[in-house]
Structure 1
Amino acid sequence: MLKATLSLDPEFKISTVDRRMYGSFIEHLGRAVYDGIYCPGHPASNARGFRTDVIDLIKPLQIPLIRYPGGNFVSGFRWEDSVGPAKERPVRLDRAWRTVETNQVGIDEFSSWCRELGAEVMMAVNLGTRGIDDACNLLEYCNHESGSYYSDLRRAHGAEQPYRIKTWCLGNEMDGPWQIGHKTADEYGRLALETARAMKKIDSEIQLVATGSSYPEMPTFPTWEATVLDYLYDDVDYLSLHQYLGDTTNNLEDYLAKSLTTEHFIHSVVSTCDYVKAKKRSGKKLMLSFDEWNIWYHSLGSDDERIAKEPWGIAPPLLEDIYTMADAAVFGTMLITLLNHADRVKIACLAQLVNVIAPIMTEPNGGKTWLQTIYWPFYHAAQYGHGTVLRTAVSCPKYDSPNFTDVPYLESTVLLDEEQGVLTVFAVNRSLNDSLVLSADLAAFEGCSLIEHVTMYSGDPNVTNGPDKQGVSPVRVAESGVTDNHLSAVLPPLSWNVVRIQFKR
């Protein structure tokens, strides 16, 4: 067995976790909305057409906010098409994904659905084909009480009370040449600045997210961030980051190391933000919104070819990756990395929530629901990942892979919930063959006892779940325990783990 030691002290704190760290994302893409969350006529759908069986699977995730309506979709979105009587809404061609958008689910329906989940809407505005006026009109529609054209229009549509949406994204991935209305950093910076200032004149309480580079390998990164923040640093509250990891080298050890790129990405963005802060002699510390993250590689390329041959379908299956145990482990390391940067990452959105690169799936044409492997790490984090992230010291063996060196077999984070008197350890054992014994001296805490050690693992890294099979799911580990304030936990090979410890407050 491999051995690892975790050193921790309640005085060494990184930051309190913002609840919005466990946000998600629904885009008008593939079957995320239609046949996903919304399916009129389905036996499980309510009177408004939303699937209650899907809602029942989302609620345990306790999602605090959901980004909407895109994504690439937003850069061609005409928000006015999505409000008013559903039967009168125009059917439009969605140029982002080359499908047909029926607009049967729009801002009013989505806001109502989010309220049922207890989640806030994180709204994105179109800075691709549209601009300042349309963003301000949408804000007025959503947030202004009454007595103006767009607020009264909302009331006429049946929503007398404003939605009071707090968080707004200024466009999406505008440095990407695939983006409708793609812009240079200067073009985007100027437009986003004037949009931000105009929106805050309508509602000074909103928080704004500036668009960062589409992903860290972009040739524009990080000069895009530096240029954009030259315009926007004093007028926005967050800078966005997007990253998807995948097994692109067909080497499992390499794949399992890829969250190290997430670590480097965050450090680079923080450094760029702080450079602009110093350049402007500002006292403001800009925070980060990691508002697209996930595992995505199974469907890359194949869906593009299919849509090229058969465009303009309504809600075709797109980006429906089926996740393995290995994917769940890498997902876990990415989640751990985000938590270990809770001092700067305040918002994170798992992209996406249903059907499209998602933890929750529905069978096509209104079939049943099922849970992917990546559902469980996200569920555990949502349930137990609260309180303060501790700064820990880890001693463990390391390995080299084709593209990485000194990869630690153990990836971990520790959260201190002082109110409940609970320590929670999230950990991934990257080893493909060996269990890892995790030891921790808990002398800084009194009267420690093990609540539970839950793990998810399989002897087959390629095992998946499906509508009629649960290939892998969490189980309890009996061998782990706490004796004389010392933790000893056995982490199986290639596993996601949750260790919860009670201590006296």
Structure 2
Amino acid sequence: MTAKLTIDPAFAIGPADRRIFGSFVEHLGRCVYGGVYEPGHRSADPHGLRGDVLELTRELGVSVVRYPGGNFVSGYRWEDGVGPVADRPRRLDLAWKTIETNAFGLDEFMTWAAAAGVEPMMAVNLGTRGVQEACDLLEYANHPGGTRLSDLRRSHGAEQPYGVKLWCLGNELDGPWQVGHKTAEEYGRLAAETARAMKMIDPSVSLVACGSSGRGMPTFASWEATVLEHTYELVDYVSAHTYYDPADGDRASLLASAVDMDHFIAEVVATADHVAAKQRHRRKLKISFDEWNVWYQSRLQADLDRRGWVEAPTLIEDDYTAVDAVVVGDLLITLLRHADRVGVACQAQLANVIAPIRTRTGGPAWRQSIFHPFALTARYARGTVLRTEPVCPTYATKRYGDVPVLDTVAVHDEETGALTVLAVNRGTADLPLDLDLRGLPGLAGAAHLTLAAGDDPDAVNTEAEPDRVTPRELAAPTPDGGRCAVLLPAVSWNLLRFAPTGA
């Protein structure tokens, strides 16, 4: 059980777009209320934004945050969430069977995004609404002034336009569970009409067309093909969503989840390129992988069934294990490996709901296990993504057949000369790795961080034990003649750092 890996800067994929390290804030459970927003909390600022969550968001390295949904957006009236809070209506949220108070809306989110240092990514409702409402929202958010809606924003305290550049044209409208579910033909026409109108108001916006809500949907690929035949020349991205459920106990397959994500991306790219060839487009469309994570999804329906119409219930608050963290780290490797075609990615979600950050209402906030591979990857994966082709053993899985034990990607920072190698050992035994760096001479080992699940795979971080699952530092790799030997612990995510000698 040994592996070999050669790193060479000649095999560049593309730049590691910072937008790959995105997150997602939806009006679902306690993601907003009790998560990012909790007036009266001891850390809250005058706007009611939790300071401890803001601090952790900045530490996480989040670049862009998608809002306000998700399923929630398909029945949402954006106007409900602006203006004096006391005048805002309480509504039934059909997506998650809860009461929405609208105490937190667009203006609060934009204030939060500025405080967190993240780029906002807004979604418009194309489920129950359409072209005019999307244009109204864009006018409110981005027009400087002198119109009813832009002046309304100014009267609410935002003199300058928000300048939101990323917009989702609806959410998962291929899904029968979606309020306003549509056929591909219906959605494609509506999305095209909306895109044309939005770009009349602000030609600088980048738009995301809804792709399939999962690779397993019966309409997958045919949905993308039909939608893009309507929208290809009008949009900048097509979305992809996927979640991986550990609940069936098939740990070997769970650890290989990135294999499925890899195929998903390749198939969406192939479909988009087919439409481009058919319509004679030279521009290559990119993917916005704006929902992804590990999610114990099989528990969701029981959660919903035992609740009535209440405000901000405790919903989908999964406790993430050490194994889950390794899987999340591997999914990030896959997103980076497709840096030439994945331009945006949002881990769902940011706080409490299937999230790297957990809180107790009125209490502390802490990092879940999955926080760490995300934060470290966002911090160090800067520069040009390099193609890697590890030579390694395989192991058998029920879902995906035989898969490689080792998954890797490398990122070379040409400005500093630093190299970051991310490696996941999916196997249940330690894996010796022979690393060939002769294509990048003059590098010295700087660090080896590992998050290993082999000893305690079900360990989780809790309020009482917030640091039970954290990365640990191993001896830095020591290149000799451009080669070095590294031992990757069983079931582990690893970050190897190299810097120019003397740096």
Native 8 Å contact 1:127 1:170 kept in 2: yes
Alpha-carbon shift at residue 248 of structure 1 (Å): 4.8
SS at match of 2:207: strand
Which whole-Å deviations, capped at 9, do the CAs of 1:382-411 have from their partners, x for residues lacking one?
A: 100110111122111111122323311111
Q: Which residue of 2 aligns with 1:33?
A: 32
2:283 and 2:496 map into 1 onto residues whose CA distance is: 37
Native 8 Å contact 2:446 2:476 kept in 1: no
Q: Which residue of 2 aligns with 1:20?
A: 19
Native 8 Å contact 2:431 2:488 kept in 1: yes
Q: Which residue of 2 aligns with 1:501?
A: 498
- Stretches of structure 2 that go unaligned for 5 or more consecutive residues are none
1:416 and 1:303 map into 2 onto residues whose CA distance is: 41
Q: Which residue of 2 aligns with 1:467?
A: 463
SS at match of 1:215: coil
Q: Which residue of 2 aligns with 1:335?
A: 332
Q: Which residue of 1 aligns with 2:418?
A: 422
SS at match of 2:159: coil
Letter in 1 for 2:491: L
Q: Which residue of 2 aligns with 1:409?
A: 405
Q: Which of these residues, 424, 439, 442, is aligned with residue 444 of structure 1?
A: 439
Residue 242 in 1 paired to residue 241 in 2? yes
Letter in 2 for 1:473: T
Residue 393 in 1 paired to residue 392 in 2? no
Letter in 2 for 1:341: H
Letter in 2 for 1:392: T
* 366-375 vs 22-31, greater mean Cα deviation: 366-375
Q: Which residue of 2 aligns with 1:358?
A: 355
Letter in 2 for 1:497: N
2:342 and 2:226 map into 1 onto residues whose CA distance is: 21
Which whole-Å deviations, capped at 9, do the CAs of 1:162-213 have from their partners, x for residues lacking one?
A: 0000010000000000000000000001111100000000000000000001
Q: Which residue of 1 aligns with 2:366?
A: 370
Point out 4+ residue stretches in structure 1 off by more than 6 angstroms: none
Q: Which residue of 1 aligns with 2:287?
A: 288
2:431 and 2:41 map into 1 onto residues whose CA distance is: 46
Q: Which residue of 2 aligns with 1:308?
A: 305
Which whole-Å deviations, capped at 9, do the CAs of 1:41-100 have from their partners, x for residues lacking one?
A: 111111111111111111112222100000000000000000001111111111110101
Alpha-carbon shift at residue 486 of structure 1 (Å): 1.5
Q: Which of these residues, 430, 440, 448, is aligned with residue 453 of structure 1?
A: 448
Residue 210 in 1 paired to residue 221 in 2? no
SS at match of 2:424: strand
Alpha-carbon shift at residue 301 of structure 1 (Å): 4.2
SS at match of 1:174: coil
Native 8 Å contact 2:71 2:171 kept in 1: yes
Native 8 Å contact 1:249 1:255 kept in 2: no
- Stretches of structure 1 that go unaligned for 5 or more consecutive residues are none
Alpha-carbon shift at residue 302 of structure 1 (Å): 3.6
Letter in 2 for 1:465: N
Q: Which residue of 1 aligns with 2:113?
A: 114
2:80 and 2:9 map into 1 onto residues whose CA distance is: 52
2:406 and 2:300 map into 1 onto residues whose CA distance is: 35
Letter in 1 for 2:177: W
* 435-444 vs 142-151, greater mean Cα deviation: 435-444
Native 8 Å contact 1:190 1:231 kept in 2: yes
* 487-496 vs 152-161, greater mean Cα deviation: 487-496
Native 8 Å contact 1:445 1:503 kept in 2: no
* 145-154 vs 41-50, greater mean Cα deviation: 41-50
Which whole-Å deviations, capped at 9, do the CAs of 1:459-502 have from their partners, x for residues lacking one?
A: 02111111111222111112743223212211110111000001
- Counting matched residue pairs gives 500
Q: Which residue of 1 aligns with 2:164?
A: 165
Q: Which of these residues, 341, 346, 351, is aligned with residue 344 of structure 1?
A: 341
Which whole-Å deviations, capped at 9, do the CAs of 1:235-269 have from their partners, x for residues lacking one?
A: 10000000011225422112211211111101110
Q: Which residue of 1 aligns with 2:322?
A: 325
1:180 and 1:408 map into 2 onto residues whose CA distance is: 40
Q: Which residue of 2 aligns with 1:268?
A: 267
Which whole-Å deviations, capped at 9, do the CAs of 1:282-315 have from their partners, x for residues lacking one?
A: 1111111000010001xx3444234333221110
Q: Which residue of 2 aligns with 1:492?
A: 489
1:201 and 1:182 map into 2 onto residues whose CA distance is: 27
2:108 and 2:144 map into 1 onto residues whose CA distance is: 19
1:499 and 1:479 map into 2 onto residues whose CA distance is: 8
* 438-447 vs 320-329, greater mean Cα deviation: 438-447
Letter in 1 for 2:412: L
Native 8 Å contact 1:416 1:423 kept in 2: yes
Letter in 1 for 2:189: R
SS at match of 1:481: coil
1:276 and 1:479 map into 2 onto residues whose CA distance is: 47
Letter in 1 for 2:219: T
SS at match of 2:200: helix
Letter in 1 for 2:376: H
Q: Which residue of 1 aligns with 2:473?
A: 476
SS at match of 1:490: strand
Native 8 Å contact 1:479 1:490 kept in 2: no
SS at match of 1:395: coil
Q: Which of these residues, 430, 447, 456, is aligned with residue 435 of structure 1?
A: 430
Q: Which residue of 2 aligns with 1:48?
A: 47
SS at match of 1:73: helix
SS at match of 1:482: coil
Q: Which residue of 2 aligns with 1:229?
A: 228
Native 8 Å contact 1:237 1:287 kept in 2: yes
Native 8 Å contact 2:446 2:477 kept in 1: no
Native 8 Å contact 2:447 2:476 kept in 1: no
Residues 22 and 112 (structure 1), Cα distance of their counterparts in 2 relative to 1, 3 Å cut: same
Native 8 Å contact 1:61 1:378 kept in 2: yes
SS at match of 2:421: strand
SS at match of 1:446: coil
2:398 and 2:114 map into 1 onto residues whose CA distance is: 47
SS at match of 2:33: coil
1:327 and 1:464 map into 2 onto residues whose CA distance is: 9
Native 8 Å contact 1:480 1:490 kept in 2: no
Native 8 Å contact 1:39 1:49 kept in 2: yes
Native 8 Å contact 2:245 2:298 kept in 1: no
Aligned-pair identity (%) = 52
Native 8 Å contact 1:449 1:485 kept in 2: no
Native 8 Å contact 2:444 2:500 kept in 1: yes
Query: How does the TM-score come out when normalised to structure 1?
Result: 0.97
SS at match of 2:479: strand
1:227 and 1:22 map into 2 onto residues whose CA distance is: 29
